[in-house]
Amino acid sequence: MLDYTFTEEQEKFRKLIRDFALTELAPKASYYDKNAEFPYEQLQKMIQLRKKLGYGKENTLDLISLGIGVEEVGRADFNCTLLFLYAFGTLKYFFKDASEEVKQKYPEFFYSGEQIVGLCMTEPKSGGSDIGSLTTTAIPDGDDYIINGVKTSITNMTATDMFYIFAKTPVKEGLWGITGFLVDAESPGLSMKVYDDLGNRGNPRGTLTLNNVRVPKENMIGQLHRGLTSILNYLNINKAFIGLMCLGAAQQSLDETIEYVKNREAYNLPIAMFEGVSFPIVEAATFIEAARLLCYKVLWLEEKGLRNAKEGAMVKWWVPKLCSDIIWDCIVLHGHIGYSTELPLEKRFRDVLGWQIGDATPQIQKLIVAREIFGKEFDLTRYTRRLKRENTKT
């Protein structure tokens, strides 16, 4: 049966998180943005709220409710969206393939949200869109691996407690796999550089250099040489979370704009009466409605154990772009004041913009959708890889 409703409990949760986010998180959003400071205080508030609501290791939130929460936090402070997910137990999904050994070694890490994870996939020379071509290596040495390389664009770099690093591991002569490792941020051999970003400034991104970093074998996440399969499933769910946090920011901007245009007058009339003002608002409301349904469908498919790669990629290429366009329209409908830092619109615009790139670009997502529509035999990247392999053999 098709049913577009949320449960009563989920609706209550939405209201609770919205009230919390708008009263507790929103007032300091611009402070963290201006100072490019990680919002530790806000993270603690979210962890306290989670504990108060009775969620923890044994009782984690379902995916749809995590989506609802991140959407509501997106209305208030984009700096806190990913942290909400950590605080409310998303690492359980993120590290679904972690062994019991590693879970026991770091008992709080996977559930508490107290410790921050830095995802290390992208590299300065490769490994962004073409993740398979990364060059960081992890070479076995007794009970450890020795990691060397450079990772870049790591979100929440300055606050990271554990880096989740993907590195090439030797299979046999000339053949490499890719394996994931959990690396303590205190490990000797790590050095960092931080970027001064356009948006998401409360989650500073940076570059991590690994120079002979020793990591014990038990810190491996998922299977040896098959680390990407562990993370790709979460990245697909994360596309829905990214879509929803962008939609939260767009919806809040739209709500504020609707109030503004009802009260602002031009030619002795509220500007809401002019179709040039009301129609972009109608279009935005329509697109937001459709985009939300697609995001929740990704999470719903995941909960049902059904394939959702196509829907996830559709969300990721479309929704962050849609939301930056909507927020931009809201800025224009506010006239000169929308362009200033007096209002939160310009910050939301900068924040949402980053997620067109973060966790893979629209072009790469469209390639995924195209593969689903046309079939793998029409995938240019697979085709060129096959040609390269054949040429190496001859």
Interface contacts to ligand FAD, rule CB under 6 A: 119-122, 128-129, 153-155, 200, 205, 354, 357-361, 363-364, 381
Which C-beta is closer to ligand FAD: that of 154 or that of 277?
Answer: 154
Amino acid identity for residue 65 in this structure = S
Look up residue 286 and give its two tokens.
Answer: 């329509």
Q: How far is the CB of 376 from ligand FAD (least distance, A)?
A: 15
Q: How far is the CB of 362 from ligand FAD (least distance, A)?
A: 7
Q: What angle do CA 378, 384, 389 make, to 5 degrees?
A: 125
Amino acid identity for residue 377 in this structure = E
Place of tokens 């919205």: 18
Q: How far is the CB of 110 from ligand FAD (least distance, A)?
A: 18
CA distances to 138, 147, 158, 201 from 206, rounded to whole Å, are 21, 18, 8, 11
Category of 184 on φ-ψ map: left (φ > 0), alpha (ψ -120 to 50) or beta: beta
Q: Strand 162-172 vs strand 175-184: parallel, antiparallel, or unpaired?
A: antiparallel
Which C-beta is closer to ligand FAD: that of 126 or that of 278?
Answer: 126
Distance CA 96, CA 112 (A): 15
Q: How many CB atoms lie within 10 A of CB 376?
A: 9
Distance CA 180, CA 199 (A): 28
Q: How far is the CB of 180 from ligand FAD (least distance, A)?
A: 12
Q: How far is the CB of 224 from ligand FAD (least distance, A)?
A: 21
Which C-beta is closer to ligand FAD: that of 164 or that of 260?
Answer: 164
Q: How far is the CB of 306 from ligand FAD (least distance, A)?
A: 26
Which C-beta is closer to ligand FAD: that of 173 or that of 196?
Answer: 196
Q: How far is the CB of 293 from ligand FAD (least distance, A)?
A: 25
Q: How far is the CB of 253 from ligand FAD (least distance, A)?
A: 19
Q: How far is the CB of 87 from ligand FAD (least distance, A)?
A: 17
Which C-beta is closer to ligand FAD: that of 277 or that of 369?
Answer: 369
298: Cβ–Cβ under 8 A, 6 or more apart, which residues? Answer: 236, 237, 239, 240, 243, 308, 311, 312, 315
Q: How far is the CB of 166 from ligand FAD (least distance, A)?
A: 8
Q: How many CB atoms lie within 10 A of CB 134?
A: 24
Provide the H-helix boundaries in the chain: 8-20, 29-35, 40-52, 63-76, 81-87, 91-94, 100-105, 109-112, 227-263, 275-303, 309-333, 345-354, 362-374, 380-393
Which C-beta is closer to ligand FAD: that of 153 or that of 252?
Answer: 153
Three-state secondary structure readout of 244-271: HHHHHHHHHHHHHHHHHHHHCEECCEEH
Look up residue 243 and give its two tokens.
Answer: 């879509």
Coil, strand or helix: which one is 128? coil
Which C-beta is closer to ligand FAD: that of 112 or that of 200?
Answer: 200
Which C-beta is closer to ligand FAD: that of 21 or that of 360?
Answer: 360
Which C-beta is closer to ligand FAD: that of 93 or that of 300?
Answer: 93
Which C-beta is closer to ligand FAD: that of 201 or that of 292?
Answer: 201
Q: How far is the CB of 317 from ligand FAD (least distance, A)?
A: 10
Question: Residue with the closest Cβ to ligand FAD?
Answer: 128
Which C-beta is closer to ligand FAD: that of 151 or that of 310?
Answer: 151
Look up residue 175 and give its two tokens.
Answer: 């053949």
Q: Which of 61, 163, 167 is nearest to 115 (CA)?
A: 163
Q: What angle do CA 76, 320, 311 make, to 5 degrees?
A: 115
